[in-house]
Structure 1
Amino acid sequence: MNSNSSPSAALQLCYENVNGSCVKTPYSPGSRVILYTVFGFGAVLAVFGNLLVMTSILHFKQLHSPTNFLIASLACADFCVGVAVMPFSMVRSVESCWYFGRSFCTFHTCCDVAFCYSSLFHLCFISIDRYIAVTDPLVYPTKFTVSMSGICIGISWVLPLVYSGSVFYTGVYEDGLEELSNALNCVGGCQVVVNQNWVLIDFLSFFIPTLVMIILYSNIFLVARQQAKKIENTGGKTESSSESYKARVAKRERKAAKTLGITVVAFMVSWLPYSIDSLIDAFMGFITPAYIYEICVWCAYYNSAMNPLIYALFYPWFKKALKVIMSGQVFKNSSATMNLFSEQM
């Protein structure tokens, strides 16, 4: 559009001829194609990647373990982000308008927060599980049972859903910011402004579990290092069968802890920019440019698509399960009892 165009001609609304419509700030056609491609790819990967993880763990009986049930539930939370959150956020981010109604805006925001906190809680419980498995591998099966895993899964779903629903359906998050909220939420808008108190609660809800995971995984790797040195020092000596078994179990648990540690690091790297930006923004008068906010949000969303890639790179059993599923062998009656582990495992 040339510089001689009038301001009224340049102005675009989300809903033409509707009083109170939000002003639309669209990207160029080329930019829109790129953004839809990038965001759409993330949503598709989050949906199908996590669906494969859930299918693998639930179908193959060899994968039925407390840890893997937690991983499957984590994949379910990420799957929900890919289905219920990312597609609608994609349209809002690219079109700069919300076309799905005010009621669905609240529901979408509630799902966004709930599923993301559910992922965080799952990762926190997984880190506790790995800590017990590495520090006390022989006693671990009696401490972290399937029932205990079920309790952790229940907490990881119920608490985020109750918290998110109570905050966003009561409107307490915008106490003191009603005028700003009304100005932003014109017709075609779905912008949530959260007051300083709830932003601080959100940040602590992210920071405290993250700190717990950092402490636990730091201890895990210290113990793993000590175990590796002990095994190395006794390499030339004759080991009893019990000691040999303990060494194999410890090695297996360390490998699992390493992979899940990478998952935790990926989560923190993805979510830290958004968490810090939200905290700073609330205390600095919401000064973050829209494009910076969108980058932080989509870095966080993309975490839901990253976990299946991590499993594919580091879990041999997931690679084998993928081959069975993609080749159609999964429909055979005997597929559920297939051996997905190498003899060394």
Structure 2
Amino acid sequence: MGLETEMSYCFPDNNFSCRKEVRTGLGNIFLFTVLSFISVCTVFLNLLVIISISHFKQLHTPTNLLILSLAVADLLVGLIVMPVNIMQLRDSCWYLGKMACAVIPLIIAVSTSASLCSMTCIAVDRYIAVNDPLLYSTKITVCKTSLVIILGWSVCFFYVMTVLYFNDHLLQSQISMSCYGECFTVTKYSWVIVDLVISFLCPCSIILILYTVIFVVARRQAIAVKSMLNVHSQGHTIKVSITSETKAAKTLGIVVCFYLGCWIPFFLSSLSSETLSSVTLLWTVFGWLLSINSTVNPIIYAIFYPWFRASSKCIVTCRIFVSSSSGLNLFRKHF
């Protein structure tokens, strides 16, 4: 399984054309096949989440709106980011023009930032739900959550615009190409530090702290319920199932561990150089780690829920085309 490459020119009729490097061989074909499959799975899984929450009225809750926001961001990753990355990985040439060279990095950065913002909002939402369950319905409403989502996406957009502008990659006139058929971004080291704090340390700290508190509170509540059941059993031993507590702990562990596993290598590599170019091997590998996070997000946040399995079954079997399908009860024990 070799990783052979073939050399030619991106645009043979243009005297300023870049040299073209096409990766061939069985090893590369296998790699592109796997990455394409991941891209398709990312689109499919996130579409299931989006259609489920949008179609079924029973799923129109504040928490599910945040999951919907996460799914939209991750859908953009699977629909645009991954195919572009596969194209650049296979062929060193850029065929989409200067406009796309300016716009696509914007889409990539916004979708990644919005995905991270949605994950942070989900952590805050679950913290409030566990820590103050009686007042949760009054504090967190669909209207308030919608405003938070709009605000979050807006902040991500303007932040990315600012970063790209100061890195001279926002306007077509700011993009310099040494040859025709080239497109890459270079991030200045000062902005790497800023992005490290804003896009990693802050949300990472919030998620870790909130999920730790959630786990502690859930564990304390489980112990309290167990004690009450033991008191009411009048001395008889009652085995209280801790399946839900274990499942919650595993879910939180997967969320935090995979999140850290995807983001830590990227930011550590970005600190190792004064400038980080999008054409470097490390950028490519760790960039794909961030993208794969969008494949796993719907699995973590949705597939663990029974309503998602029920709604997916309804979508796949085309039952959503029935006029009354939006009012189906997805929380029945046997769907």
After superposing the two structures, state which structure 1 stretch, 285-294 or 298-307, moved more: 285-294
- In 2, distance between residues paired with 1:204 and 1:128? 19
**1:21 aligned residue (17, 36, 57):** 17
Change (3 A) 1:72 1:256: farther
2:312 equivalent in structure 1: 322
Pair 1:218-2:208 in alignment:
no
1:92 equivalent in structure 2: 88
2:3 equivalent in structure 1: none
2:46 equivalent in structure 1: 50
- In 1, distance between residues paired with 2:7 and 2:75? 38
Pair 1:276-2:272 in alignment:
no
- In 2, distance between residues paired with 1:72 and 1:37? 28
Deviation sequence 1:36-78 (CA, Å, 0-9, x none):
2122112211212111101101111111100001101110111
Residue 160 of structure 1 deviates from its aligned partner by 1.1
**2:325 aligned residue (322, 332, 335):** 335
1:107 equivalent in structure 2: 103
Which runs of at least 4 in structure 1 moved beyond 6 Å after TM superposition?
251-258
**2:227 aligned residue (225, 229, 233):** 233
Letter of the 1:87 counterpart: P
Pair 1:201-2:197 in alignment:
no
Deviation sequence 1:296-317 (CA, Å, 0-9, x none):
1111111111122334641111
Question: Structure 2 unaligned runs (5+)?
Answer: 1-5, 170-174, 234-242
**1:295 aligned residue (279, 285, 305):** 285
Letter of the 1:224 counterpart: A
- In 2, distance between residues paired with 1:12 and 1:63? 53
Residue 261 of structure 1 deviates from its aligned partner by 6.1
Pair 1:162-2:158 in alignment:
yes
- In 2, distance between residues paired with 1:201 and 1:191? 20
- In 1, distance between residues paired with 2:258 and 2:332? 27
Letter of the 1:301 counterpart: S
Q: Partner of 1:187: helix, strand, or coil? A: coil
1:262 equivalent in structure 2: 254
Residue 28 of structure 1 deviates from its aligned partner by 2.1
TM-score (norm 1): 0.82
TM-score (norm 2): 0.85
Check the 8 A contact 2:186/2:278 in 1, yes or no: no
- In 1, distance between residues paired with 2:151 and 2:108? 18
Letter of the 1:50 counterpart: N
Greater helix content: 1
Change (3 A) 1:327 1:200: same
Count of matched residue pairs: 316
After superposing the two structures, state which structure 1 stretch, 251-260 or 47-56, moved more: 251-260
Check the 8 A contact 1:20/1:186 in 2, yes or no: yes
- In 2, distance between residues paired with 1:233 and 1:222? 17
